[in-house]
Structure 1
Amino acid sequence: MAAQLFKLPDPGEGLVEADIVSWKVKVGDHVKTNDIVVEIETAKSLVELPIPWDGTILELLVSEGDTVEVGAAIVSVDVVGSHRDDDHAHAPGAGGDSVPTGPGSSDKAGEERVANLVGYGPSDGGTTRRRRRSTPTTPVELVETPLVETPPDPASAAATHPGSASPGGKVLAKPPVRKFAKDNGIDLSQVTPSGAGGIITRADVESFAASGSAAAAVAPRAPGERETRVPIKGVRKMTAQAMVGSAFTAPHVTEFVTVDMTATMDLVERLKNDREFRDVKVTPLLVLAKAMCLAVQRNPQINATWDEAAQEIVIKHYVNLGIAAATPRGLVVPNIKDAEQMSLGDLGSALGELVSTAREGKTPPADMSGGTITITNVGVFGVDTGTPIINTGEAAILAFGQVRKMPWVVQDASGADVIVPRQVTQLSLSFDHRLVDGDLGSRFLADVAALLEDPGRALVWG
């Protein structure tokens, strides 16, 4: 046998580091090929890493919460039959360096293979892959983790949220959920659980944060403490870097339009009762997403990127529609690939899955890259409008404000102006003035507004 060093694999998408969220093993545990050993958080998603060998855990080289660079050793494994498994030790990304522990250990040189985050394949030693509950389609796999019980604060909120503690007065949550709450300054004793037996789930923490109660859930500070410092990691770090880069690279221009959404809201209500849409969450955002795709087809130059190195404007003939999703991990912008090819029903299903996956923190890196144009729905927070910053590599981003009743001037049957209550919203479009001039930006925004005022135009434009 020989000790092999398992290195942090390259998660792709240009990411160079990751945070250790939770270990799934401890020293002395026996692992088999493809067993999950650690959960990491990159700047884009949560990923669970399998081990490429069959052996025994010798040492955990990094601690939960540590930030580790790609290629750094994170765990040492006493590998079974290392003379047969050394080819795995040199897998790019997996980075298992062989550390001989006695005579007879060997190391094959010059053999390489491409490693994936999930599933390195069976070892030459003949170990078999464990049965999975389902066949994964992304580098993320859900696994069960043990519960951790922690005594609540002296001022526990169990009286306010009686389900948030076990009968013994202890808060129940799995290690990743506990780490997730800690990183976001949320006191778990304030969160109402929905899991069996009073277990707090990640969704419970996210719902609590989204409800606006997170400010009250910050862990109690020490007496006399005047400041709280939160490490800049993961999504927040990546978002900050991207937004600074965008703001100081692309000259931003923002335009606004107020839209009568009454016809769109009527359409939403009809579709909710349509059996063809019974499995689709129909919302005004869905209609806006479809309107965006149609408006892009009429104004293709809005769906472009600026290639500084080549000194070219690259017009995309496909729409990878980004949807900004606010999560406790920060703002993430996954995108729906080839959204322009989807029917309204298919787009609704894709949108629902995208948002749900993002809020669970399980969006794969591939879904976070390649976006061409973005919607940010600030209306869900009761905000009317804003001046959003363009995502790096895109030409425009549209902010969707809240829809609310307002007095609106319309003409009655006799042609006289009358004031009536209407469903109204505001749209704002920020665009890169290097490649989108005022004429193009205005025409695109006007087209989106026209589709929302009269969704029937889609039959003509589509």
Structure 2
Amino acid sequence: MFWHQSARAVRHQHQQWHLHGAVLARRLVAPTTTRRPSPAARAFHAARILMAVKPVLLADIGEGIVECEIIQWFVEPGARVDEFSPLCEVQSDKASVEITSRFAGIVKKLHYDAGEMAKVGKPFVDIDIEGGDAEKDALEALTPPEPGPPTKSSSPGATSVPAPTTSAPEFRPAAQGSAHPGGASQALARQRGKHATLATPAVRHLTQELGVELAQIDGTGRDGRVLKEDIYKFVEQRGSVATPAAPLEATPRTASPASPFLSPDVSAVGPQKETPLVMTRTREMMFKTMTRSLSIPHFLYADEVDFTSLVELRQRLNRVLAKSGVDDSHVSKLSYLPFIVKAVSMALYKYPILNARVDVDGPNANGSGKPMLVLRSQHNIGVAMDTPSGLLVPVIKNVGSLNVLGIAAELGRLQSLAAAGKLSPQDMAGGTITVSNIGSIGGTYLSPVVVEREVAILGIGRMRTVPAFSSALGDEDRVVRRQVCNFSWSADHRVVDGATMARAADVVRSIVEEPDVMVMHLR
């Protein structure tokens, strides 16, 4: 029985093999002109093109940031990128950051255009990490050769039809003396696009204020970067072209106002006009931040500080720096702000509550869910700066471990980056208390607003010269010249009371009025 079943199986396999051989023989004998191979048959003999498109996710570039604005793209679909090569520039939380590629390959898709808001954690560009030259070679191998010109076939009445071909458009330079006045300029104009223009955020902010399209401006900076001078030159040329020449017999106009602060259109009579203006990214962030900050109950404490001794000390130290030259700290001249920042840090050691933050909604250490005061060990003092992009608050990290010269060096570095619009999120994160020197612009008194996640802020007014009675023994009736400045403190009244604020402000005042005290507290 066993041998009978085995023989039956062998005969069945033999029949199947003969049948398969006959089918293959018919396929090989059949003429290729009468049968076209199916796509499946071609895929069996050709290697499949391997493509792996990787979506690049927008990583978290700051504390609590959920979206950022695409300032400009450095690539476009079809461009080859390497690992760590720049893809785009984004602006978030008042800082601009260059996003680099995590992969090497071919850019397939840009999910956002310049000016749109990109979501953190979502794809913003697709990159084919296995495409490129290998993909091009495989496609060329699978593409049949283009047929030549039509030839007569050996069979009567048969001709081969050529495949339609496209030829590149011929470039014809504009003829001299063309009737179109702008023909030559249009022929020589460079090609522009959303990926071709480079500019800093400050320059882009200026274009928005002047109503200028950045892509229309020829940049004279490095790699074609548009500078502020290019924008002003473009505006002047546009005004000269757009404004027609006045006729010789014109209607006499009303004389323009004599004041240089008034516009010539002040005397124009007509209805009120309202022009909507879209907020820039920096102003939008300031709107959101200040809205949250004003939910904090503030109270103001002001004090007058005698700067006379600090003025003399600064003059002596600047003379020393001028003689010794610029050292490794790259500080050639000291301002008053590094001394004030150091004085605030010294006061925080005695009153650490001013360096704390209020934890209202987050998870607390005791698990009770009640509001808590979180103390912080490092003094990260933010300094408000007026920049072309708007108000920015970079942070000087760990001020307690720096001397006055080190604070001045870090302050100079942050000011240079802020003016160029190159502050990183790390330069603006982690602040514990803020100092705003509004007096460098003007104003004697101010009421600063406490920054979110902080409990106090110091506003510095303008320094001025006033007459005062001498404090020296025996000279109480003699009037002397003094340099005074007003310090305005704002604090979170939920956790800081007036007495604590007054005592901490008195420590800062005593150190600034006697700056030699800093020598005794050097670390």
Please name the residue that 1:52 is paired with: 102
1:183 is displaced (CA, Å) by 3.9
Among the aligned pairs, what percent are the same residue?
30
Q: Residue 264 of structure 1 corresponds to which residue in structure 2?
A: 310
Residue equivalent to 1:36: 86
* Structure 2 counterpart of 1:239, from 277, 286, 297: 286
User: 1:273: which partner in 2?
Assistant: 319
Q: Residue 352 in 1 paired to residue 398 in 2?
A: no
- Equivalent in 402, 407, 417 of residue 477 of structure 2: 417
Aligned partner letter, 2:410: A
What amino acid does structure 1 have at the position aligned with 2:207? K
Specify the alignment match of 2:442 in structure 1.
382
Paired residue for 1:251?
A: 297
The 2-side partners of 1:5 and 1:56 are apart by 12
1:186 CA drift (Å): 7.4
User: What are structure 1's unaligned runs of at least 5 residues?
Assistant: 85-100, 102-172, 206-212, 217-222
Letter in 1 for 2:385: A
Distance 1:15 1:203, change over 3 A: farther
**What is the distance in 2 between the residues matched to 1:341 and 1:17?**
34
Distance (whole Å) between structure 2 residues aligned to residue 41 and residue 23 of structure 1:
12
Which has a greater percent of helix? Answer: 2
Q: Distance in 2 between matches of 1:327 and 1:203?
A: 17
Shift of residue 409 of structure 1? 2.6
Cα deviation, 1:307-359, whole Å, max 9, x if unaligned, reads: 22442222223211111112232222221111011111111111211222223
Query: 1:53 and 1:315, CA in 2 relative to 1: closer, same or farther beyond 3 A?
Result: closer
Amino acid at match of 2:73: W
1:13–1:366: 8 Å Cα contact kept in structure 2?
A: no
Question: What amino acid is aligned across from residue 296 of structure 1 in structure 2?
Answer: L
Letter in 2 for 1:284: Y
* Aligned residues of 1:202 and 1:360 also touching (Cα < 8 A): no
User: How far apart, in 2, do the equivalents of 1:180 and 1:337 lie?
Assistant: 28
Report the Cα distance in structure 2 between the residues aligned to 1:194 and 1:456, rounded to whole angstroms.
50
- Equivalent in 378, 395, 398 of residue 338 of structure 1: 398
Tell me the amino acid that sits aligned with residue 287 of structure 2. Answer: A
- Cα deviations by residue, 1:123-155 (Å, 9 ceiling, x for unpaired): xxxxxxxxxxxxxxxxxxxxxxxxxxxxxxxxx
* Matches of 1:246 and 1:305, distance apart in 2: 13
Give, in angstroms, the shift of residue 431 of structure 1.
0.7
Q: Which moved more, 1:234-243 or 1:11-20?
A: 234-243
Show the counterpart of 2:344. Answer: 292
**Pairing 1:316–2:376 present:** yes
Q: Structure 1 residue 266: deviation in Å?
A: 1.3
Aligned partner of 2:519 in structure 1 is 459
Aligned-residue CA RMSD (Å): 3.5
Distance 2:360 2:451 in 1: 16
CA distance in 1, matches of 2:317, 2:212: 40
For each residue in 1:55-90, what CA deviation from the matched residue of structure 2 results, as whole angstroms up to 9, or x when unmatched? 2233433211111212343333333359x9xxxxxx
Question: What CA distance in whole angstroms lies between the structure 2 residues aligned with 1:416 and 1:24?
Answer: 69
**CA shift for structure 1 position 411:** 4.0
Change (3 A) 1:185 1:398: farther
Aligned to 2:486: 426
| Superimposed CA distance per residue, residues 140-181 of structure 1 (whole angstroms, 9 cap, x where no aligned partner) | xxxxxxxxxxxxxxxxxxxxxxxxxxxxxxxxx844455332
| Greater CA drift, 341-350 or 180-189 | 180-189
What is residue 363 of structure 1 aligned with on the other side?
Answer: 423
Give the 3 Å change call, closer, same or farther, for CA 377–204 of structure 1 in structure 2: farther
Q: How far is 1:384 from its partner?
A: 1.2
Q: What is the aligned partner in structure 2 of residue 24 from structure 1? A: 74
Report the Cα offset of residue 35 of structure 1: 1.4
**C-alpha distance in structure 2 between counterparts of 1:460 and 1:404, whole Å:** 29
Letter in 2 for 1:247: L
Matched, 1:181 2:233: no
1:194 to partner: Cα distance: 10
Q: Give 2:71's aligned amino acid.
A: V
- Structure 2 Cα separation of the partners of residues 459 and 51 of structure 1: 49
> TM-score, normalization: structure 2?
0.61
8 A Cα contact 1:325 1:359, kept in partner: no
CA apart distance, 1:224: 9.2
2:358 match: 306
What is the DSSP-based 3-state SS (H/G/I as helix, E as strand, rest coil) of the residue aligned with 1:25?
coil
- Hey, what's the Cα distance between the residues in 2 that align with 1:436 and 1:28? 58
Out of 39, 57, 76, the residue aligned to residue 7 of structure 1 is 57
Q: Which amino acid aligns with 1:251?
A: P
Q: Which one of 117, 124, 127 corresponds to residue 77 of structure 1?
A: 127
1:408 to 465, 468, 474: 468
Instruction: Work out whether residues 68 and 92 of structure 2, in 8 Å CA contact, stay in contact via their aligned partners in 1.
Output: yes
Aligned partner of 2:284: which letter?
Answer: K
Counterparts of 1:263 and 1:224 in 2: how far apart (Å)? 57
Which is richer in strand? 1
Q: Which residue matches 1:438?
A: 498
| Structure 1 residue 9 displacement after superposition | 2.7
Inter-partner Cα distance in structure 2 for 1:348 and 1:259: 21
Tell me the amino acid that sits aligned with residue 442 of structure 2.
Answer: G
- Greater shift in the superposed pair: 376-385 or 415-424: 415-424
**Residues in 2 aligned to 1:379 and 1:67: alpha-carbon distance in whole angstroms:** 36
**Secondary structure of the equivalent of 1:379?**
helix
Q: CA deviation at 1:426?
A: 0.7
> Could you say what secondary structure the match of 2:288 adopts?
helix
Larger Rg: 2
Distance in 1 (CA, whole Å) between partners of 2:381 and 2:325 is 21
- Contact preservation (8 Å) 2:199, 2:226: no
Q: 1:378-425: per-residue Cα shift (whole Å, max 9, x none)?
A: 011112121101111111100011112222232466333233332221
Distance 1:10 1:323 in 2: 24
Q: Where does the alignment leave 5 or more consecutive residues of structure 2 unmatched?
A: 1-50, 140-196, 232-259, 264-269, 365-370
- Determine if the alignment matches structure 1 residue 325 to structure 2 residue 385: yes
Q: Give yes or no for contact 1:43–1:237 (8 Å, CA) kept in 2.
A: no
Shift of 1:231: 2.8
Q: What is the identity, as a one-letter code, of the residue corresponding to 1:456?
A: D
- 1:8-33 per-residue CA deviation (whole Å, 9 max, x = no partner) reads 33324111111111111223322222
Indicate conservation of the 8 Å contact 1:282/1:348, yes or no.
yes
- Counterpart-to-counterpart distance in 1, 2:460 and 2:316: 21
| Distance change >3 Å, CA 350–CA 403, structure 1 → 2 | same
